[in-house]
Structure 1
């Protein structure tokens, strides 16, 4: 019983320096990601779900009505499998943290041997050794600190993915919405081309225009038909990327979206201290900083391990043979094992960690420069698209409408022919096509700026393309001669 008390006391003493238990629950990870992103992430993201179980109830409710950009982002947060996988990937770093803080196991050795006097009957002597590695137990605290930084870095990485997913869904939504709107405008233009073709045919049969006018209007109509077909294909191509982001399949793919892009915001976002705000919010920089702290702690741990002897203490209990003197009694002793760090002082490992730290520091500084540049680029995109879209919204489109009204007045006064009226109508629709594309660029640039200030550079804020739209002109080269 005395030996049991000694061993229990040793384990209890070592337990004082243990880093403690870490909750393996995914809820704590989700709560931390929600805190970092400042987004209302649904609690269902942390719940296990199989494909065969269908979609979350909220997804079905959202799909019953035409989707808005906010509703699409909400569905992606609930249903995107890659996002759910990223949350579960945090379990890897959490498991490594748990393992880093675990105390080493004690070593137990049991030895049975015959007594030294061969004249005595066979009665084995018993010896029990219990040893415990003190060095490994103490260093587990430092290992846990380094692993905790790695877990936090993984959480920052997942939070950045959440922000990027939100931007990507919005950009895909605006692209699909704009494609639908362009098809509707192009269809109206096609009707104008058809009317011009029919009018030229009727005038030709009446002998009022040459056959050249008929051929010109017919070619313009067929060209417009090809453009509408191309835009219709673009709608299908824009739909599928959004479909994948939302994680929808089967009957759930019959969703619709609101028909038109929203008009421009009344006020532009504030650009004051934009670079500083972007750097402060950057989840990428925060992740790298955590990795730097972890690398520094690992390098420090390796340095300590290199000079610290590996010490283990133990208890020896020996029981003599019952026929020997002092038979049946236990004899107690202690043992101390340690290594001499003469040759292997973890020099190579320490050098590798120091090089990793230096490389991360260089990347951190370069990333800070890139984030500042991305902030300026995002500001330029928002300002440029806002200026051009507002020019169309407030000046060009009203001007085209006035031209259309005056043309109709001249036509009613028999000062202009039908071809001039239809040409003006097509030019008006061309301006509307360009305006829709500008609106898409405007809202995509806004989403990229919001994502940057939420902590994540996106493809648009890293110099990537904003996404090419479909044809923005239907009237080029379609003016007819004639009278």
Structure 2
């Protein structure tokens, strides 16, 4: 066989391997699958701007969302299309795809050509990794598992990002709601101060009663100032997680108050069972274990023989001569260190999977417990505390007008009324924060009512209070 024939045979073999490898590639459906999984979890599908045309299309979608009032789900959708941090996370898929392609292709041959400075001597060396060629199927399986792990990790990061967006949204809207509460309290406090001043000037109350009203009015002003100070930082954080530029930030309109918690009870055990089954972190750990297992046999052989090379040498000195051989390194420990490393990596991946399952179970269950406790507290404040404080205030006003009680009792009732409103706003904020944390693990809206609510027998007054509050504080946008 002449050199030209050998070279042609080698080239044909390499080309055939490469073509067969390329032919076996499936279309890159990893992002479409990821998008469907993330949308099922978060309610919004991510967009990946890989070209200028993609970026323009995503920008147009963001502008359309900003034309209307933005709720929590819409905020997540905007972040998924617009946030530079999320776009950066999605690029991990591109990096993993490149590693996958390298794994499923045959090993690269190494060709060295040396020509003498004088004369007509020419030497050509061709080598290829024999182990990589023999273990090509295992490398391909490991590459597929690595791609699956990267996809699951990206999905987990997107679920975390959605939670961060929801929390930032909740904090901003809660800050607006608290400001509205204290603006009303400040107006009422100032009106009460002016009325007390007039009564004092008429000689009908003591100086201490006037000073108490003045102190209450000053306190409400201070609370309004504190609430106003939360607005700017909370809005800036929301703008940052949404990835809005100055023009987009100017168009952003949110709800003016947080929706009331739903009536459905959150069953912690039901949530935990669902979360473990659908956990992105568990899926990533399982894929990582498959990847390590697929590489285990290759690593053990490599530990013993190093990198085994199939070598062909072709030399022209007047005529062509050719030689073939194998090259490998022989570790002095006969591969013991490599086998120990491989076994440790496999055990490590197995333990990481066990911990991922345990973390998913306990974290989702504890998040569900926090969300349910916050939900019950918010509904208690709405159905009981607010109603009682309203009844007390109305009764105190009637008694004060009938001159049966003094200014001090009226002041205390007004303060209790403000405190009840504050407690409700804080409880609703805490519920939506806890729910955002819970939705890292499971989509709450898809669970439905997992168990009947506790047996309560609310009074007619309590039911009326709930209806009155819902009517008074009806929210823009959709309920969650």
The TM-score with structure 2 as length reference comes to 0.79
CA distance in 2, matches of 1:216, 1:233: 26
Query: Does residue 57 of the first structure (1) align with residue 53 of the second (2)?
Result: no
CA distance in 2, matches of 1:380, 1:40: 22
Give the counterpart of 1:211 among 190, 194, 207: 207
CA distance in 2, matches of 1:177, 1:89: 33
Q: Bigger shift: 383-392 or 292-301?
A: 292-301
Which residue is 2:298 aligned to?
Answer: 301
Q: State how 1:173-212 maps to structure 2 within 5 Å.
A: 173-212=169-208
SS of the counterpart of 1:407? helix
Which residue is 1:430 aligned to?
Answer: 419
Give the counterpart of 1:107 among 99, 111, 115: 111
Q: CA deviation at 1:170?
A: 0.9
Which residue is 1:480 aligned to?
Answer: none
Greater percentage in helix: 2
Structure 1: which 5+ residue stretches go unaligned? 115-122, 321-329, 456-483
CA distance in 1, matches of 2:207, 2:400: 23
C-alpha spacing 1:303/1:432, structure 2 compared with 1 (3 Å)? same
Q: CA deviation at 1:162?
A: 0.7
Q: CA deviation at 1:454?
A: 5.5
Q: Bigger shift: 288-297 or 172-181?
A: 288-297
C-alpha spacing 1:146/1:229, structure 2 compared with 1 (3 Å)? same
CA distance in 2, matches of 1:35, 1:293: 23
Query: Does residue 310 of the first structure (1) align with residue 314 of the second (2)?
Result: no
C-alpha spacing 1:111/1:453, structure 2 compared with 1 (3 Å)? same
SS of the counterpart of 1:336? strand
Give the counterpart of 1:357 among 346, 350, 354: 346
Which residue is 1:98 aligned to?
Answer: 101
SS of the counterpart of 2:68? coil
Query: Does residue 139 of the first structure (1) align with residue 135 of the second (2)?
Result: yes
Q: CA deviation at 1:47?
A: 3.3
CA distance in 1, matches of 2:383, 2:96: 54
Query: Does residue 150 of the first structure (1) align with residue 154 of the second (2)?
Result: no
Q: State how 1:151-300 maps to structure 2 within 5 Å.
A: 151-254=147-250, 255-300=252-297
CA distance in 1, matches of 2:99, 2:312: 29
Q: In the alignment, is the contact (CA less than 8 A) between 2:49 and 2:58 conserved in 1?
A: no
C-alpha spacing 1:420/1:305, structure 2 compared with 1 (3 Å)? same
Q: State how 1:380-459 maps to structure 2 within 5 Å.
A: 380-417=369-406, 420-453=409-442
Q: In the alignment, is the contact (CA less than 8 A) between 2:303 and 2:337 conserved in 1?
A: no
Q: CA deviation at 1:127?
A: 6.6
CA distance in 1, matches of 2:270, 2:68: 40
SS of the counterpart of 2:440? helix
Q: In the alignment, is the contact (CA less than 8 A) between 2:310 and 2:327 conserved in 1?
A: yes
CA distance in 2, matches of 1:71, 1:129: 61
Q: CA deviation at 1:311?
A: 4.3
Q: Bigger shift: 405-414 or 368-377?
A: 405-414
CA distance in 2, matches of 1:347, 1:134: 21
State the Cα deviation string for residues 376-423 of structure 1 (Å, max 9, x = none).
212211221122112122222222222233334434544345654454
C-alpha spacing 1:48/1:268, structure 2 compared with 1 (3 Å)? farther
CA distance in 2, matches of 1:152, 1:268: 35
Q: Bigger shift: 348-357 or 369-378?
A: 348-357
C-alpha spacing 1:349/1:92, structure 2 compared with 1 (3 Å)? farther
RMSD: 3.4
Which residue is 2:84 aligned to?
Answer: 81
SS of the counterpart of 2:441? helix
SS of the counterpart of 2:298? helix
Q: In the alignment, is the contact (CA less than 8 A) between 2:311 and 2:325 conserved in 1?
A: yes
- Which structure has the larger Rg over C-alpha atoms? 1
CA distance in 2, matches of 1:383, 1:43: 29
Q: In the alignment, is the contact (CA less than 8 A) between 1:30 and 1:46 conserved in 2?
A: no
Q: In the alignment, is the contact (CA less than 8 A) between 1:310 and 1:338 conserved in 2?
A: yes
Which residue is 2:34 aligned to?
Answer: 33
Q: In the alignment, is the contact (CA less than 8 A) between 2:70 and 2:255 conserved in 1?
A: yes
Q: CA deviation at 1:7?
A: 3.5
Give the count of matched residue pairs. 436
CA distance in 1, matches of 2:384, 2:405: 25
Q: CA deviation at 1:220?
A: 2.1
C-alpha spacing 1:5/1:31, structure 2 compared with 1 (3 Å)? farther
Q: In the alignment, is the contact (CA less than 8 A) between 2:109 and 2:126 conserved in 1?
A: no
Q: CA deviation at 1:438?
A: 0.8
CA distance in 2, matches of 1:24, 1:235: 50
